[in-house]
Amino acid sequence: MKPKGYSSIELSNICKGTHEGVTTVVTHILIDSRAQQEYSDSMFVALIGQRQDGHQYIEEAYQKGVRSFLISRSQIISDQYEDANFIVVPDTLKALHQIASFHRSQFKLPVIGITGSNGKTIVKEWTFQVLKEVYQICRSPKSYNSQVGVPLSVWQLTSSHDLAIFEAGVSQSNEMECLERMIQPNIGIFTNIGNAHAQNFESQEKQIIEKIQLFKNCNQLIYCKDHHAIDIQIAKTIFSQPIELITWSREKSTVSLQITSITHSNKKSLIKGIYKGEDVEINLPFKDSASLEDAIHVWLLCLTFSIDTAIISEGMKSLTSIAMRLELKKGIHSCTLINDSYNSDITSLKIAITYLKQQQQHPQHTLILSDILQHSESTEKLYAEISDLLNRNKIDRLIGIGPNIQAQKHLFQIPTECYPDTISFLNSIDQIKFYNEAILIKGARKFEFEKITERLQEKGHNSTLEVNLNYLIDNLNYFKSILNSNTKLMIMVKAFSYGNGTHEIANILEYYRADYLAVAYTDEGIALRNQGIALPIMVLNPEPQSFDSLIRHQLEAEIYSLRNLRLFLENLDRNTYFQDPNQAVKIHLKMDTGMRRLGFEQEQLDELVELLKANPQVKVASVFSHLAASDEQEKDDFTQLQFERFNTMTAKIERSLGYSFLKHILNSSGILRFPDQQFDMVRLGIGLYGISNTPEHKAILKPVNRLIAHISQIKHLKKGETVGYGRRGVMPTDGTTATIPIGYADGFSRLLGNGNWQIEVNGKLAPTIGSICMDMLMIDITGIEAEEGDEVVIFGENNTIYDLAKARNTIPYEVLTDIGSRLKRVFYLE
Ligand SMILES: *Cc1c(COP(=O)(O)O)cnc(C)c1O
């Protein structure tokens, strides 16, 4: 189902731009040159963000085959692009909005616009789940609801759709008007409003008024009257035309749908109500209040559409939770698994494939895909488009599961095997070779692909360090927002990226355009090179024996002493055969400005420079130093002294050496506390994982890690019975204990035993009881409802890594780097 194509001239007219160059047909819009899909028929929109300028990536997009560009800086047009076109406008985002509005106005169909603080995506996806057999639905991919997400969502509309559902999110005033012009909804849903008003709004009232803008041209608006603040504002609003307010409530009877009772049994709920004077009811497979609210919105929408009662009750009964996140974990035979159980549709497949292709540590990329449960004019067309997508992305192998994809097997040009269902694939799985490849597992819910993940994942320790990559990216962007536009960013990925992982983290950093990586030892750098990481890598503490393999792998050594430099030079003399004679070997010089650990002293600089001048085969890429107390305010005088010394030392080297180099001194807390000392580069470490020492930044940064495990066994004990080695744990009352498979060999220190730490079990905190064992520990769960196999949180949101560090008398750095390598790491991306 390709979107309608436009000629580039037509698009230029729509956004009143100037068209330069040849005319092409545009069927796809690209805003990220890194996305691998769609080239020749795509238009690349060069958006200008806070720190990133899309114009920088025009060359890259052109190399990938893009021939149409929407830009605002006409000076980048050059002869080199003679077979391309450029649409020049003053503001590319605004032009993208104009194009989306125009495209939307080509279609006459019911369009549902959803906004509110929470539940937008779930209401959208559930509406789709219930109505997908009734309508051909176009909907926002994932939660594409921003100023950039909405135009991309609207662009998907084609004449084959007869219903559209788009979500709209605003983060500040005056944004909704633009979104409304693109979505042009005729039916609105206002889900709810949070208690605290969002950062950029003066008050909750202002926030509601802004959101209501989405509905100003709607004919119908659905909302819950129990949200009084919303109800009051809607009553005050003057809409441009008569609008039918379709409401529901648990309290009032003067509404369209009055909820009369909600009863729960097991994990299910039965909701009864009165709609147009008649009794109505639905069953839901949830009981939490947020899900119930989302579901009632969907229900009322279906009632408004006069959908057949049987379809409603069947649809509501089988709603499934929406997994918005991708999960990356280790697989058997050195494979990497990416598990994405988000509804299978082409757009989310594209997003997942982009992530699959980031896994450059593997030579081969495999896709296991179920039937796509999406209405389409023809299944043949749908699978032809997927085949095209796989070709463009150079996917090496497809395993298709389901009758539809099997029937279309002939359309795929890459090696393809098909199976009618998941069971038959699982029955043959042992005959299929999986080795050193990245495997994307993407299936619609009903195909139960979790069974495939189960079979292909590496077995072993079931306790997991979760790494939230979205938070990591948010933290990265937060640090970038502090940096001056020309300050480079080096990321410290030493010690297994502070316990988080190697290539998994480096791949993300490369994708998000970090400038440099740093590791502690040569081996760590070599491992990254072998996994395909191409970024420059500095090695902080290279052993002299490793100098030649360091150079061979294009790693860059830190040199901290004269002896160290002489050894490095001797090594170069001996190993000239692998050097490029036209290129000097890059080194980084470490100055000791007060840490008293490694580094040159002021008095050694003359000798240092002399040695460097005599050896032009090495080139100083950077000179740096490290702060001893960047996070301790009472020692700021000393930190200032370090800055002064650093200035003096670098000035001296620069003067006598006769060329310049990068200078850098700030680590994470340095970046946060001394933003005017950025020099040319900064070195970000712990802050990337959301950890900071200052309360102010603790509130902004997002902790990336959670450590989870599962209960192995539950025991019922009598008062006075003892637990564990040395009988040090004593039951204070009759009660219950749970045994958790994690111990000091996994980095969970013995200092945390005997009540010194609390583990979260089903929302409640349970203290450790007795001493921590090598591979296990026990907790007292008296009074907490729990079953064997339940997930428990060792540290997370409610029992933080900060408190854990304090409880064992150390710092979060040590807690993270202590987490044993035998624990699984799972990476999540929404
Ligand atoms: C580890 C390290 C950093 C990063 O420190 P954080 O406090 O984690 O930001 C910076 N520079 C050097 C030399 C380091 O060794």
Q: pLDDT > 70: what percent of the chain? A: 97
Binding residues for substrate: 597, 774
From the list 38, 33, 43, the residue with the least C-alpha distance to 8 is 43
Quote the pLDDT of residue 267. Answer: 78
Ligand 1 neighbours by CB, cut-off 6 Å: 492, 540, 626, 667-668, 683-687
> At 339, which amino acid appears?
N
Same-domain check for residues 489 and 613: yes
* Cα–Cα distance for residue pair 414/365, rounded to 1 Å: 11
Q: For residue 36, what pLDDT is reported? A: 60
Task: Say yes or no: 277 and 358 in one domain.
Answer: no
Same domain, 476 and 606: yes
Pairing of strands 364-370, 437-442: parallel
d(CA 712, CA 740): 6
Of 60, 57, 24, residue with least CA distance to 43:
24
Q: Is 786:711 a contact under the CB 8 Å cutoff? A: yes
**293 contacts 302 by C-beta, under 8 angstroms:** no
Please give the residue that has the higher pLDDT: either 344 or 596: 596
Checking if the pLDDT of 40 tops 90, the result is no
Lowest mean pLDDT across 165-169, 240-244, 672-676, 701-705: 240-244
Residue 262 Cα to ligand 1 middle (Å): 54
Cβ of 551: how many Cβ atoms within 10 Å? 21
Q: Do 709 and 649 reside in the same domain of the chain? A: no
Please tell me the predicted confidence (pLDDT) of residue 197: 60
**Mean pLDDT, rounded, of the chain:** 93
Pick from 626, 679, 688, 697 the residue to mutate for probing ligand 1's pocket: most ligand atoms within 8 Å of its CB: 626
Q: Is 494 a catalytic residue?
A: yes
Q: Do the beta carbons of residue 526 and residue 551 sit within 8 Å?
A: no
Q: In the annotation, is 64 catalytic? A: no
- Dist. CA 492 → ligand 1 center (Å): 6
At 279 the pLDDT is 96
Q: Cα(4)–Cα(161) distance, rounded to whole angstroms?
A: 12
CATH code, 639? 3.20.20.10
How crowded is residue 294: how many other Cβ atoms within 10 Å of its Cβ? 28
CATH number, domain of 359, equals 3.90.190.20
Residues 113 and 244 in one domain: yes
4 with 156: CB under 8 angstroms? no
How close is the Cα of 518 to the center of ligand 1, in Å? 9
| Phi/psi at 282 (5° precision) | -140, 155
Non-local CB neighbours of 645 within 8 Å, separated by 6+ positions: 591, 593, 594, 602, 625
Tens of pLDDT, residue by residue over 115-134, are 999 999 999 999 999 999 89
- Whether residue 489 contacts residue 687, with contact meaning beta carbons closer than 8 Å, is answered with no
What CA–CA distance (Å, rounded) separates 417 from 26? 33
> 426 with 481, same domain?
no
546-593 pLDDT, tens per residue? 999 999 999 999 999 999 999 999 998 887 666 666 788 999 999 999
What is the phi/psi pair of residue 338, to 5°?
-120, 120
Atom number in ligand 1 closest to CA 626: 13
Question: Tokens 């560090």 map to which residue?
Answer: 805
Q: Say if residue 760's pLDDT is above 70.
A: yes
Side-by-side strand order, sheet with 416-419: 416-419, 397-401, 364-370, 437-442, 336-340, 326-330, 824-829, 464-468, 705-710, 791-795, 758-761, 764-767
| Model confidence band, residue 822 (pLDDT cutoffs 50, 70, 90) | confident
State the amino acid at position 392 in one-letter form: R
Pairing outcome for strands 618-625 and 662-664: parallel
Domain CATH number, residue 200:
3.40.1190.10
Residue 102 included in any domain: no
CA distance 340 to 142: 12
> How close are the terminal C-alpha atoms of the chain, in Å?
25
- Residue-wise pLDDT tens digits, 54-104: 999 999 999 889 999 999 999 999 999 999 999 999 999 999 999 999 999
Which strands, in side-by-side order, build the sheet including 68-71?
A: 18-21, 85-88, 68-71, 42-45, 28-30
- Minimal CA–CA distance to 138: which of 119, 118, 152, 120? 152
Q: Residue 583: which residues within 8 A CB-CB, separation 6 or more?
A: none
CB 180 within 8 A of CB 214: yes
Task: List the single range of 321-330, 738-747, 756-765 with lowest mean pLDDT.
Answer: 321-330
Domain boundary among 443, 459, 475: 459
Q: Report the run of H or E that residue 682 belongs to, with start and end.
A: strand 681-684
Is 100 domain-assigned?
no
* 3-state secondary structure (DSSP) of residue 104: helix
With respect to residue 24, please indicate whether it lies within any of the assigned structural domains: yes
pLDDT over threshold 90, residue 775: yes
CATH classification at residue 40: 3.40.1390.10
- Residue 463 to residue 759: CA distance in whole angstroms: 13
pLDDT digits (tens, 9 = 90+) for 515-543: 999 999 999 999 999 999 999 999 999 99
For residue 189, what is the enclosing H or E element?
strand 187-190
Q: Which of 759, 754, 763 is nearest to 711 (CA)?
A: 759
* Residue nearest atom 12 of ligand 1, based on CA coordinates: 626
| 619: β partners | 586
Paired strand residues for 188: 113, 221
The tokens for 730 are 């004593």
Beta strand ranges found along 560-610 (DSSP E): 585-591
Residues 606 and 680 reside in one and the same domain: yes
Amino acid at 431: Q
What ligand 1 atom has the least distance to the C-alpha of 520? 15
Tell me, yes or no, whether 1 lies in a domain.
no
Over the range 593-626, which residues count as b (16 or more CB within 10 Å of their CB) and which as e?
Answer: bbeeebbbeeeebeebbeebeebeebebbbbbbb
Which of residues 92, 122, 155 is at a domain's end? 92
Confidence band for 37, pLDDT divided at 50, 70 and 90: low
CA distance 808 to 189: 50
Q: What is the DSSP letter of 600?
A: B
Answer for the pair 259, 296: CB distance below 8 angstroms, yes or no: yes
Contacts 24+ apart (CB under 8 A), 270-278: 271/295, 271/296, 271/299, 273/248, 275/300, 275/303
The total number of structural domains in the chain stands at 5
DSSP 8-state assignment for residue 687: G
**pLDDT tens sequence across 190-237:** 999 987 666 678 888 999 999 999 999 999 999 999 999 999 999 999
The pair of structure tokens assigned to 361 is 């540590």
Average pLDDT, stretch 613-624? Answer: 95
Claim to verify: residue 538 and residue 634 sit in the same structural domain: yes
Q: What is the pLDDT of residue 446?
A: 84
pLDDT in tens, 471-494: 999 999 999 999 998 999 999 999
- Which pairing describes strands 729-730 and 722-723: parallel, antiparallel, or unpaired? antiparallel
* Ligand 1 centroid distance, CA of 523 (Å): 18
Per-residue pLDDT tens digits for 400-452: 999 999 999 999 999 999 999 999 999 999 999 999 999 999 998 889 999 99
Cα 581 to the center of its chain, rounded Å: 42
Residue nearest to atom 6 of ligand 1 (CA): 685
Kindly state whether residue 81 falls inside one of the protein's structural domains.
Answer: yes
Q: Which domain holds residue 485?
A: 466-698
Rounded distance between C-alpha atoms, residue 649 and residue 609, angstroms:
11
Q: Answer yes or no: do 57 and 128 share one domain.
A: no
From 329, 494, 586, 663, active-site residue: 494
What does 443-464 look like in DSSP terms, one character per residue?
A: --GGG-THHHHHHHB--S---E
Nearest to residue 346, comparing CAs of 65, 120, 156, 162? Answer: 156
Distance CA 355, CA 349 (A): 10
pLDDT at 498: 96
Flag whether 517 is in a domain: yes
Our CA angle for 275, 276, 280, nearest 5°, is 30
Please report which confidence band the pLDDT of residue 681 belongs to, taking 50, 70 and 90 as the band edges: very high
pLDDT for 1: 40
Confidence of residue 461 (pLDDT cuts 50, 70, 90): confident
Take atom 13 of ligand 1 and give the residue whose Cα is closest. 626
Question: Are residue 678 and residue 556 in the same domain, yes or no?
Answer: yes
- Written as six digits, the tokens of 235 are 């009553």
Q: Which helix (H) or strand (E) holds 87?
A: strand 85-88
Task: State how far the Cα of 251 lies from the Cα of 381, in Å rounded to an integer.
Answer: 49
Across the range 383-393, mean pLDDT stands at: 91
Tokens 């994982």 belong to residue: 689
Same domain, 258 and 313: yes
Out of 459, 481, 506, pick the residue that ends a domain. Answer: 459
Tokens 């052993």 locate to 543
Most informative mutation of 683, 686, 811, 816 for ligand 1 (most atoms within 8 A of CB) = 683
| Domain presence at residue 345 | yes
Q: Which residue in 252, 394, 725, 806 is the catalytic one?
A: 725
CB atoms < 10 A from the CB of 56, how many? 12
Distance (Å, whole) CA 99 – CA 182: 9
Contact 443, 404 (CB under 8 A): no
Give how far Cα 517 sits from Cα of 366, 661, 703, Å. 29, 17, 21
| Test site for ligand 1: of 472, 475, 483, 492, most ligand atoms within 8 A of the Cβ | 492
Provide the CATH number for the domain around residue 766.
Answer: 2.40.37.10
Model pLDDT, residue 2: 47
Nearest residue CA, atom 4 of ligand 1? Answer: 685
For residues 575 and 765, the model is more confident at 765
- Give yes or no: residues 670 and 545 share one domain: yes
Ligand 1 centroid distance, CA of 537 (Å) = 14
- Which range among 366-375, 389-398, 505-514 shows the weakest confidence by mean pLDDT? 366-375
* pLDDT > 90? residue 598: yes
The count of other CB atoms within 10 Å of the CB of residue 454 is 11
Is residue 325 assigned to a domain?
A: no
Q: Say what the pLDDT of residue 201 is.
A: 83
CA distance 713 to 739: 5
Provide the CA 527 distance to its chain's centre, in angstroms.
24
Give distance in angstroms: CA of 583 to centre of ligand 1: 29
